[in-house]
Amino acid sequence: MQFRKSILAACGAALVVLATSAGGHAAASRTYLTFDRPVSLPGVTLAGGTYVFERMGAANDVVRVSSKDGTHVYLTAFTNEIARPAGSNVKVLLGEAAAGSATPIRAWYPEDTLAGRAFIYR
């Protein structure tokens, strides 16, 4: 019985290592984006500046947006996959905003991918 528990614990530890290494793959999907005016994401407004957008986790459906140096996380959110516009090298898809409001970022397209991540606004 004790041996079985040890085997189960070892398997659990191996799964944690595999999940961590799969999540580490998201670092390859890191993009530095600079905005010259305020932009918004669900629940947060970002001042003009440089931010890091990156996919997190094995499924890549979670996106984290942080400061350029990575010390402050502004958003961690689930997203939906969205196709990149044909023949486009666009990095973000912006929405419309009322005069004086921050422009919403509708989607982010990681470099060298055919699909992007659409932010979920409610």
For 79-109, the pLDDT digits (tens) are 999 999 888 889 999 999 999 999 999 999 9
Higher pLDDT, 55 or 3: 55
Q: Are strands 73-83 and 115-119 parallel, antiparallel or unpaired?
A: antiparallel
Give the 3-state secondary structure of residue 40: strand
Domain count along the chain: 1
- How many residues are given for the chain? 122
Query: Has residue 32 got a pLDDT over 80?
Result: yes
Average pLDDT over residues 63-75: 97
Distance CA 41, CA 104 (A): 6
Average pLDDT, the chain: 82
Q: Which residues of 33-64 are buried (b: 16+ CB within 10 A; e: fewer)?
A: bebeeebbbeeeebeeeebbbbbbebebebbb
Task: Please report the pLDDT score of residue 9 as a whole number.
Answer: 41
Quote the domain boundaries for residue 56: 2-119
What's the maximum distance between 2 C-alpha atoms anywhere in the chain? Answer: 68
Task: Please report the pLDDT score of residue 28 as a whole number.
Answer: 54
- Note the pTM of the prediction, 2 decimals: 0.75
